[in-house]
Every structure is written in structure tokens, then in C-alpha cells.
Chains A and B, each alone.
Chain A
Amino acid sequence: MATDTNHDGVRPSPVGPAASAGRAATPGGTAGGSGQELSGLDALELAGAGRDRWWARVGRGAWPKLLALALVLVGWQLVVWSGWKPDYLLPGPVAVARGLADIVPTADFASAVATTMRRAVTGFAFAAVVGFVLGILVARIRVLRAAIGSMITALQTMPSIAWFPLAILLYQLTEGAIEFVIVLGAAPAIANGVIAGVDYVPPVLVRVGRNLGARGVGLYRHVIAPAALPSVLAGMKQGWAFAWHSLMAGELLVTIANRPALGQLLGVYRDQSDSLHLIGIMLVVLAIGLMVDAGFGAVNGAIRRRRGMT
């Protein structure tokens, strides 16, 4: 019972915080005085809680990335200059940039990017729906968790390219084969994000929600879903990486006549031994993957900042 030893001394004089906040303090802590003392204490506790503007944060994050990019380009150029491979097999960054400048304005390139992005978006959207439904079911139903909870993770370790022979038998050389593998690759990651998100909602938040009158769907909408959101987003970000991997593998294997796509262009340029344009397309694939990933990262970062998790 040592808990009240704090109060054995003299009560803290109200001169301290309230006076330093520039307000007259009422001694003794009567109702009016306590309000002033409280706001004095509030002012003291919140002092110096400034926040950076967004451009300052972006600027701070950008220069290490630019520096790393510059180092990679320099390294690449050094390898080319070393004469390890002939120029026509391993062109330097400047030549690749010129090659890219040639193909980017063409209609074929635009249609290839459009086809690939359409597949990515539909496949990822489908994977998100499957992942959400599966995740919610596994998180809520104990039998399902015991039955397939670990299987979902096992499914993630299966390389997506290993699914293609079966997908091609099932769907022939169609869009369906590609979408099938994208969903198999991305849905487990998204489901795992949902499961982890629901599992790690702090119980006290749920108890408070029930006390505040949230029941059933309301509890999900106002408490569980927002609490699980960061984990769900992390799952979607990972799911996107899996989807992009699967899509590129799929477009290399499943080529559909008269429908150019980024992955398929990789195959075309390899057949033509055109490593200049091959590397150019690889850079485009890398850039698109990174941009979407950065988009997820930005949303995730904004949520974490709003919630004070950083």
C-alpha cells in the first residue's frame, strides 16, 4: 500500500504550471481553478510538438534513394567499360536510355503497357476480393482456421511459375490462365494480412466498442476494420508484389497473338537478341512495380502518422 506516499507531502502549489501559462490560479483546486490548472498543464505537456510539412519529409527520404540510383548507374557503366561482355550484349545506361526513348512513343509500347496494367488491375482486384473473404472467414471461424490457416501460408511458398503448366492446361493460352495464377499468388498474402489484422486488434478497443454500443456489423465497421487496416494494407502491398511476379512470368509463358504485353516483349527481344531494348523493358517493369509499391507505402505511412505509430 505504498501507492499514496505521493501525497504525504504538501500538495503541489498551483503557482507552477498555471502561472507559467500566464493565467491567475485559484489556490486549493476548486472547480474553476482546476480548469485553469488543467489547461496550464495541457499547455506545458504539449509544448514543442511541431510537425514537418510533407515536402520536407519527401525531400529527406528522396536524396538517399537518388544517391543509390546514381551508384547503380555508375557501377553498371563501369562493368560495360570493363569489356566483360561485348557492347551489343550488355549496352551501357546511356544507350539503353536512347533505346527506350525510341520505343516508348510507339503505339505497340502503349498497347503493351495498357494490356499489362489491365491484367494487373483485374487480377489484383480479384485477388483482393478472394483474399478478403478468405481472411475474414479464417479469422472468424475456428474450424476453418485449424483446417486451412497454415495452408494459406504454404500456398505462398509455391513459386507462381510452377502453377502455369496446370493453368495452361485448365485455361489454355488465355487471359484466364494469367489471372488464375495472379489470384493464387496474391490472394494468400492479402488473406494473411486480414487474418493478422483481425487477430491483433487490441482487445480493450473491442471491449470499449461494445460498451459504446457497437454490435455485429457496427463493431466491424467502426472498430475492427479500422484497427486492422494497417495490417490489411501491408498484406495488399505484399500481395501486389506477388501479383506482379506472377504476371510477368505469365506473360512470358502465355503469349496471345496480336496482343503485345510487357512480359511478352521481354520474350520477343530475347528472341531477337536485342538486349538494348530488353533491358529497357526490364527497367519499365521495375519502375511500374516500384511506383505501385511506393503508392502503398505512401498510404501506409500516412495512416501510421495519423495514428501516431511513427
Chain B
Amino acid sequence: MTATRGTSAPDVRQTDPGPAGAGPGPANGTAVPAVRIEAVSKVHGRGAGAVLALDAISLDVAPGEFVCVVGASGCGKSTLLSLVAGLDAPTARTLTVPGRPALMFQESALYPWLTVAGNVELPLRLAGVGRAERRERARELLASVHLAEFAQRRPHQLSGGMRQRVALARTLALDSPVLLMDEPFGALDAMTRDLLHDELETLWRQRRPAVVFVTHNVREAARLGDRIVLLSSRPGRVVWQTTVDAPRPRRMDSPETAAVAAEVTDRLRAEVRRHGH
């Protein structure tokens, strides 16, 4: 099962999986990584009921790199993001993240008591940015997600896809070099999700944050990622990774994307089979 076998995508170049799966970023592996995860473990609970969620995960993300993390349920994808975001403390760790990574969830988690603009302004307000500058930057951010005219609406007046775009604008307001996304489009219909892929890719190209994008949708990973990292389940480990060189913008339904997705799906299935009887 190697990526170069048979009819697999010509655009897939497999990096050496290695025992811990630690691999450099695609082209610029020598640069200082934006995120360095070194042998990070996380145990949930205590005593006999304790569960090893992450087992000595190592992963470097280069500045400006778009990494998609895929895995079956229970692989600790969300846990990994919480650790990188600093919302949870790892049990054992070497975690190097400069500054504060921005985090986005599957639910938009917009504050219903604030307007759309108020939500985008909140991180700026918390950072002590003055009112006029706040307003101007929120306006720019909302324009960048094509929602400028909805600035004074309330979150509940928007559709699910629009709410995720507001959440994206709010996350971008942190202006962090690292953007963590936890299945951000998982609850959206296919068409909205396709459009948001284009949208996210455009914004990523303009701003070039390092992105760690967690998803269970293999094709989404193939659509967006420079690199796809496969996590095993219970405990989570990096078991395999591949770089995707297909030119951007890619499409969900192109043969290249489908070929990459097929390769990742095979790996994922093999991983899931390991847990069967």
C-alpha cells in the first residue's frame, strides 16, 4: 500500500511515514515550523477509567502550510487542536506554538447577544484596539467573507453557511500565524461547503497562515490540503501522511482529488480494520 502503486494519483508524493510519523513540511522543511508538536500525549480521565487519547504525536507544520488531519472517530483530532490552541494541557509534551493560534469549530459559536460586526470586533476589543480601528477592521474582515452588508444583523438571522463565514472572519481578526479548524464545514450542505472551500483557499492564499484543518471527509482533505496526515484511533498516533501537489484551486469532483481521496480512504479503512475482530 504505497502511494505510488498502480493507478493512484500522479500528484501524490508520499513522505516517509517513520515510526512516529514526524515529517518535515513539504518544500520548506528546513524553516522554523509554525507549530511543532513533539511527542505530545494526552490522557483523558484518571485511574482505571483513564483513556490514552493521543500517544506521543509528533507533527510539524511549516509557516503557510495547509495541513489536513483525517482519522476515524476517536482518534483525538479535536483533542489535538485543543492542545495546540492552549485550551487543554497535554499530559506529556513538547509543544511549540508562537503566539496564540486562532481556533474555529464545527458550530459557529457566535455570540447571540452581539451583532455580526460585534462578534468580529470582540477579539480586537479584548486586545485593546480602539473603537474606530476596530470598526474599520471588522468591516474589512466582513467584506473579505462577502458579508459586509450583514454587519448589523444578529447571528440568528443568518444561514448556517453565513454564520461559519462570520466565525471565520472573527477567527481571522486574531491575525494569528496559525489557524486551527475543527471540522468547520461539517454541518453544511454540499454546495455551501464547496463555495466555502473556495473562500477559505482564497483567504489562505492572501494571508498565508499555517492551517491545521481537522476533518473526517477525505475528499475535503484532498481538496484543501498541502499535506494530509492520517491519525490512528485509540490511541491517536500519526500513522501515515502524504503531500498533495495538484495545482490549486482544486475541485472536489476532479479525478486528481478523487485519486488522492481514494488513497487516503484505503489507508483509513486499513486503520479502522485494525480495530475489528
Contacts and interface: CB of A to CB of B under 8 A. Distances in A.
Interface of A: 1, 3-4, 6-12, 28-31, 34-35, 37-39, 41-42, 45-46, 49, 202, 204-205, 207-208, 210-214, 218, 222-223, 226-227, 229, 303, 306-309
Nearest to A34: B198
Contacts of B195: 29, 34, 37-38, 41
Given A11-B253, A31-B198, A211-B85, 7 more contacts: A7-B219, A29-B198, A38-B165, A208-B103, A229-B113, A306-B154, A309-B112
B121 to A, nearest CB: 10
Contacts of A9: 253
Contacts of B219: 3-4, 7
B271 to A, nearest CB: 11
Nearest to A11: B253
B249 A29 contact: yes
B100 A211 contact: yes
B100 A41 contact: no
Contacts of B157: 46, 49, 308
A175 B157 CA distance: 50
B220 interface: yes
Mostly, the A contact residues are helix
Contacts of A204: 105, 107, 109
B267 to A, nearest CB: 11
Contact of B220 (A4, A10, A205): A4
Given A208-B109, A226-B111, A307 B156 contact: yes
Q: Interface size bucket, B side?
A: 35 or more
Given A207-B87, A213-B100, A307-B154, A41 B190 contact: no
B265 interface: yes
B191 A205 contact: no
Given A11-B194, A29-B198, A222-B126, A211 B161 contact: no
Interface in B38-52: none
B96 interface: no
Contact of B158 (A46, A211, A226): A46
Q: Which 6 residue pairs of A and B lie closest in terms of their CB atoms, listed nearest first? A: A308-B156, A4-B219, A45-B159, A34-B198, A307-B112, A213-B126
Given A29-B198, A42-B159, A1 B190 contact: no
Contact of B155 (A6, A45, A212, A308): A308
